[in-house]
Chain A
Amino acid sequence: MGYPHTPHEKETVVLSKYFGDAEARSYDGWVQRGGYEALKKALGMSPAEVIDLVKESGLRGRGGAGFPTGFKWSFMPKEKSKPHYLCCNADESEPGTFKDREIMRWTPHALIEGCAIAQHAIQAEVTYIYIRGEFTEPLRIMQAALDDAYKAGVLGANAMGSGKQLDMYIHRGAGAYICGEETALMNSIEGRRGNPRIRPPFPAQKGVFGMPTTVNNVETLTAVPHILVQGTDWHKGLSLSNPKSAGTKLFSVCGNVARPGNYEVTMGFPLRDVIYEMAGLPEGRTLKAVQPGGSSVPIINREEAEACLLDYEGCVEQHTMLGSGGMIVYDDTADMVYQIMRLARFYAHESCAQCTQCREGTAWTVRILERILRGEGKMKDLDLLLDLGEQMTGKTICVLSDSCAAPVASGIERFRGEFEAYITGAREPSLAPA
Chain B
Amino acid sequence: MMKETGTYEPVFTDDRRAKLDEIIARYPTKRAALLPALWLVQETHGWVSDEAMIEVAQTLFLTAAYVKGVVTFYTMYHQHPVGRHFIQVCTTSPCSLCGAERVMEALLEHTGCGDLGATSPDGRFTVVEVECLGACGFVTPVLIDDDFIEGVTVEQVPELLGRYE
Contacts and interface: CB of A to CB of B under 8 A. Distances in A.
Q: Tell me the dominant secondary structure on chain B's binding face.
A: loop
Given A95-B94, A191-B29, A252-B137, A171 B69 contact: no
Interface stretch (A116-124, A147-155, A343-351): A343-351
Interface string B131-160: 111111111000100111011000000000
Nearest to A91: B134
Nearest to A343: B93
Contacts of A345: 131
B70 interface: yes
B120 interface: no
A411 to B, nearest CB: 11
B138 A2 contact: yes
Contact of B136 (A177, A189, A326): A326
Given A2-B151, A169-B26, A209-B28, A255 B70 contact: no
B147 A136 contact: yes
Interface in A83-136: 83, 92-98, 100-101, 126, 132-136
Contacts of A126: 26
B93 A95 contact: yes
A98 B131 contact: no
Contact of A330 (B31, B77, B97): B97
Interface string A1-28: 1100000000000000000000000000
Contact of B98 (A171, A253, A255): A255
B75 A175 contact: yes
A188 interface: yes
B139 to A, nearest CB: 7
A375 interface: no
Given A194-B74, A349-B131, A339 B136 contact: no
Interface stretch (B3-11, B12-20, B34-42, B105-113): B34-42
B139 A254 contact: yes
A134 B94 contact: no
A126 B27 CA distance: 9
> Which 8 pairs show the lowest CB-CB distances between chains A and B?
A191-B34, A175-B76, A174-B74, A260-B137, A175-B75, A254-B136, A191-B31, A193-B73
